[in-house]
Amino acid sequence: MAFCAVLFVAGCAPALPSLAGGSTTPAHRRDVGLGGSARVPFGQLRPRAGRADHTGAAPTNGVDELAARYEEAALAGGIVPVASARVGLPHHLDLGVLASGTMAQLSLRWERVLRDGVTQPRWVIGLAPYGGALVGAREADRGARDRDRAGRAGVVGVEVPVLYAVDFGSSYELWAGPRLGAEYLRGRFTAGEAERARASAWTLRAGAVLGVGIGLRGLHVLAELTAAYERWRGRQGDAGITRQGLVLIPAAALRVRF
């Protein structure tokens, strides 16, 4: 039971968007962004309370109901805040940090401009490690005054962004490409009155992102949608479990460049 909570608490990790824009940040300039992102899971990644079993019915026994409460809390939909900052470096490089909920990501990117002019297509390639803390759902069957967390875990991961981006005269931006990444989670979780137990999980993520930006004179609105396939594998003691499904990550932000 605790192990099921691990996977679905991991699934609730604030979704990290790319919000890459149509180029790296120009040398000696800076970007600051503020917005939000959301995670919309499908298939086995959905909370059990909203997912029917093979008979078409939702789980009804006590054990499944307890797991469903954890999963529902862990995968509850909603928007998390996103903040980012980037600094432009020489040689078409930039360095950035992005925070989404309890997760933070550091990225180093390099671009290759394919054609100079008012419209500039380019390839943007980078490396983006991230990490953070995940907190379990509150136990639903305790009193309001002494409710406790079901557990917590640390998570580390890495993404390798590879994007085709276009800057249309600094007024319009477009970016698209694959999003590939891997993630590891380790922590201690509990179910009901049981003692907390160690658990861990790996995930592989593969998908694509499409984004657009519009603005003028250093002020732009960015919006994007990521669609990714996730496969989780983990273990607690002798018990193992696998979950997989599609995840949508919409995001939007206001970016200021100065």
DSSP conformation class of 163:
E
- End-to-end C-alpha distance for the chain, whole angstroms: 50
Q: How confident is the model at residue 147 (pLDDT cuts 50, 70, 90)?
A: very low
Tens of pLDDT, residue by residue over 153-196, are: 788 999 999 999 999 998 999 999 999 999 998 877 665 555 56
Global confidence as pTM: 0.81
Alpha helices in 51-186 (DSSP H): 62-74
CATH number at residue 168: 2.40.128
Count, residues in the chain: 258
Spatial separation of the C-alpha atoms in residues 129 and 173, rounded to whole Å: 25
The count of domains in the chain is 1
- Separation between Cα atoms, residue 208 and residue 203, nearest integer Å: 17
Measured CA to CA, the distance from residue 133 to residue 187 in angstroms comes to 10
| CA distances from residue 204 to 158, 182, 228, 244 in whole angstroms, order as listed | 10, 5, 10, 10
What digits encode the pLDDT tens for the residues 71-95?
443 444 567 899 999 999 999 999 9
Residue 20 belongs to what domain range?
2-257
